[in-house]
Amino acid sequence: MKKNILIVDDHLVVREGLKLILETNESFKIIGEAENGEAAIELLERNRVDVILLDLNMPIMSGLETIEHLNHKQIDIPIIILTTYNEDELMVKAIQLGAKGYLLKDTNRDDLFRTIESALRGDTLIKPEIMMKILNVRENDQQKNANDRNEKLILTEKELFIIRAVSKGYRNKEIAFDMGIAERTVKAHLTNIYNKLGVDSRSEAVSVAIKRGYITL
């Protein structure tokens, strides 16, 4: 049985070029073509598709938006990204979203067939240099997330003043007077301090603050 291929690209010349190559392989059938993701989704609703060749930069609905839509709808069809030389970042995101591989738009016949056959088997065909880009992006994202978490754990100047005052036995009312703020504001700051330090009481907050170097004895 022939495998149905859907070509999605906003450039007619790209679609026509891929069709000419694919039509030389008796294992494949062009089930349809679309110039954007929205049109592709409409075709998917009416046809059985085995593989999607998907452009990244398209009007109305881009390639990434199309993949996200299909993921949301739990439509599991192998996707191969059609890309150019200057779309590394978008391509990496597409692979992270589940695309099975990528092809340069001027790809040769053998690479086209090999990539499609790999996607049909459920394999992900990615060159080592692209895998390195994906790993680098993932590492940078993890580092950014770690930095964001650390920033959320850092006590502000007001919070430092309050926890140090608490360590000296000052009550909320006294701290509020010294800082020139309302007592309820002090309580709000204390709640933030508890959350950042992972504690439930003044004594625990002071203990953890000492361990982390916020308070020196």
Among candidates 179, 205, 180, which has minimal Cα distance to 190?
205
Please tell me the predicted confidence (pLDDT) of residue 133: 64
Please tell me the predicted confidence (pLDDT) of residue 32: 94
Q: Sign (positive/negative) of CA torsion 17, 18, 21, 24?
A: negative
Q: Is the pLDDT of residue 50 over 90?
A: yes
List own/partner pairs for 160-167 with CB under 8 A and 24 or more apart: 160/214, 162/186, 162/189, 162/190, 162/193, 163/193, 163/205, 163/206, 163/209, 163/214, 163/215, 164/209, 164/214, 164/215, 166/190, 166/202, 166/205, 166/206, 167/206, 167/209, 167/210, 167/215
Among candidates 59, 75, 63, which has minimal Cα distance to 7?
63
Please tell me the predicted confidence (pLDDT) of residue 176: 92
Asked if the 154-211 domain carries CATH number 1.10.10.10, the reply is: yes
Q: Is the pLDDT of residue 140 over 80?
A: no
Q: How many CA atoms lie within 13 A of 39 on its CB side?
A: 15
Q: 86 pLDDT band (50/70/90 cuts)? A: low
Percent of the chain clearing pLDDT 70 (strictly above): 85
- Cα gap 36→62, rounded to integer Å: 7
Domains 3-139 and 154-211 share a fold: no
Among candidates 217, 170, 166, which has minimal Cα distance to 190?
166
Please tell me the predicted confidence (pLDDT) of residue 85: 64
For 172-202, what is each residue's pLDDT tens digit?
999 999 899 999 999 999 999 999 888 888 8
CA–centroid distance for 94 within its chain: 9
Please tell me the predicted confidence (pLDDT) of residue 162: 94
Task: Give the strand pairing for 3-8 and 101-104.
Answer: unpaired
Q: 151 pLDDT band (50/70/90 cuts)? A: low
Q: 153 pLDDT band (50/70/90 cuts)? A: low
Tokens 């996607």 map to which residue?
119
**Which carries the bigger pLDDT value, residue 148 or residue 122?**
122
Please tell me the predicted confidence (pLDDT) of residue 196: 87
For 158-172, what is each residue's pLDDT tens digit?
999 999 999 988 999
Please tell me the predicted confidence (pLDDT) of residue 111: 87
**Which carries the bigger pLDDT value, residue 105 or residue 120?**
120
Percent of the chain clearing pLDDT 90 (strictly above): 51
Please tell me the predicted confidence (pLDDT) of residue 128: 57
For 7-48, what is each residue's pLDDT tens digit?
999 999 999 999 999 999 999 999 999 999 999 999 999 999
Domain boundaries, the chain: 3-139, 154-211
Q: 215 pLDDT band (50/70/90 cuts)? A: confident
Q: Classify domain 3-139 at the CATH topology level.
A: Rossmann fold (3.40.50)
